[in-house]
């Protein structure tokens, strides 16, 4: 905080001399000041010296995002109010002079940014991995249509002259929790396209496929919101999938796969 409060109006050399020689700043050692400066530099905070947000809020958000805290990816479920803030977040907020209610708002903002970035990275990796997995066990044409347009309402098209499957892939690295976001366009495509299938792709830490499961359209239809009036329309929703709604593999791929195919896409029990 001391660096960010003074650098906009002073040079690095003058700040360093102040922190090293003035009695008001002697509670920290020169080594600690240098470590703090390196942390600010590594996390890009020195590029935003004139940002509009308060210094303590900028530091708090950055500390959260770079902490690797195990609870942060699931903060939407684990932290539903200021009273549920984890101890590490509370200690950091107290040290920075941030009230619990404000800290909760900052946690929500950081989770939203981290979740959006992670979903984009994991989503792309899952789609590519699933395309490769399917292409290796079928003679059908496999197209990663989401690579050139998001207007189809699905990500992967698998088809022959007689059969077709349109796969909307939702990828995750979480264990014990299957959550996905469904857009209105994807939902409308599901309703009118009989070949549409939502598929959950469970990824490993190195972005390989650990498991594949299907979610029936009929089940999804029971979970989406309803428009209640002529002036309101939902555009996206989050769905938490109950374990009993998951179907192992992608049974509807069976007519398009090579004979004898089993494994992640068509477990032995499904392959008959």
103 contact partners, CB below 8 Å, separation of at least 6: 60, 82, 85, 89, 90, 92, 93
Over range 19-24, report the average pLDDT. Answer: 93
Range of the domain at 94: 2-115
Shared domain check, 213 and 95: no
In the chain the first and final C-alpha atoms are separated, in Å, by 64
Shared domain check, 143 and 108: no
State residue 272's pLDDT score.
43
What band does 19 get if pLDDT is binned at 50, 70 and 90?
Answer: very high
pLDDT tens digits for range 81-120: 999 999 999 999 999 999 999 999 999 999 888 888 888 8
Shared domain check, 173 and 104: no
Cα angle, residue 224 at apex, residues 254 and 107 outer, rounded to 5°: 110
Whether the predicted pLDDT of 53 surpasses 90: no
- Of the candidates 105, 137, 144, the one whose C-alpha atom is nearest the C-alpha of residue 123 is 144
| Beta strands at 179-183 and 156-159: parallel, antiparallel or unpaired | unpaired
23 contact partners, CB below 8 Å, separation of at least 6: none
Query: Is 175 in contact with 228 (CB distance < 8 Å)?
Result: no
Shared domain check, 127 and 220: yes
Shared domain check, 198 and 134: yes
Shared domain check, 50 and 29: yes
Burial class (CB in 10 A: 0-12, 13-18, 19+), 190: buried
Alpha helices of 136-258 — where are they, by DSSP H? 184-192, 217-221
Shared domain check, 136 and 266: yes
Whether the predicted pLDDT of 60 surpasses 60: yes
Chosen domain end from 115, 141, 160: 115
What band does 174 get if pLDDT is binned at 50, 70 and 90?
Answer: confident
Shared domain check, 68 and 170: no
- The number of domains in the chain is 2
Whether the predicted pLDDT of 271 surpasses 50: no
Q: Which residue has the tokens 């109950």?
A: 242
Chosen domain end from 51, 84, 115: 115
pLDDT tens digits for range 185-243: 999 999 999 999 999 999 998 999 999 999 999 999 999 999 999 999 999 999 999 99
Least confident of 20-34, 42-56, 92-106, 202-216: 42-56
Burial class (CB in 10 A: 0-12, 13-18, 19+), 16: middle
Chosen domain end from 115, 140, 175: 115
Shared domain check, 61 and 25: yes
Whether the predicted pLDDT of 18 surpasses 70: yes
Provide the 10 A C-beta neighbour count for residue 204: 11
Shared domain check, 141 and 267: yes
pLDDT tens digits for range 250-265: 999 999 988 877 789 9
Q: What is the mean pLDDT of the chain?
A: 92
Shared domain check, 109 and 149: no
Across 161-268, the runs of DSSP E, i.e. the strands, are 164-172, 179-183, 196-203, 209-215, 236-240, 247-248
Shared domain check, 95 and 188: no
CATH code of the domain covering residue 178: 3.40.1350
Whether the predicted pLDDT of 268 surpasses 70: no
d(CA 211, CA 204): 9
Burial class (CB in 10 A: 0-12, 13-18, 19+), 165: buried
């Amino acid at each position: 905080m001391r660096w960010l409060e003074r650098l906009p109006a002073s040079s690095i050399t003058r700040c360093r001399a102040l922190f090293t020689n003035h009695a008001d700043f002697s509670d920290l050692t020169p080594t600690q000041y240098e470590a703090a400066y390196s942390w600010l530099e590594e996390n890009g905070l020195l590029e935003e010296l004139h940002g509009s947000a308060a210094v303590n809020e900028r530091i708090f958000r950055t500390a959260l995002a770079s902490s690797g805290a195990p609870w942060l990816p699931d903060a939407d479920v684990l932290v539903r109010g200021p009273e549920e803030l984890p101890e590490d977040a509370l200690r950091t907020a107290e040290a920075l002079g941030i009230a619990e209610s404000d800290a909760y708002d900052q946690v929500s903002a950081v989770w939203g940014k981290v979740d959006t970035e992670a979903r984009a990275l994991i989503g792309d990796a899952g789609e590519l991995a699933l395309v490769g997995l399917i292409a290796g066990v079928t003679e059908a044409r496999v197209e990663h249509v989401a690579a050139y347009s998001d207007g189809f309402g699905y990500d992967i098209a698998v088809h022959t002259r007689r059969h077709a499957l349109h796969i909307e892939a939702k990828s995750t690295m979480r264990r014990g929790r299957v959550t996905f976001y469904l857009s209105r366009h994807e939902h409308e495509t599901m309703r009118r396209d009989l070949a549409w299938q939502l598929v959950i792709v469970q990824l490993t830490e190195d972005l390989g496929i650990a498991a594949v499961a299907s979610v029936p359209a009929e089940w999804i239809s029971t979970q989406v919101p309803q428009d209640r009036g002529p002036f309101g329309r939902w555009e996206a929703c989050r769905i938490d999938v109950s374990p009993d709604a998951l179907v192992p593999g992608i049974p509807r791929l069976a007519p398009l796969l090579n004979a004898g195919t089993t494994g992640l896409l068509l477990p032995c029990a499904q392959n008959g």
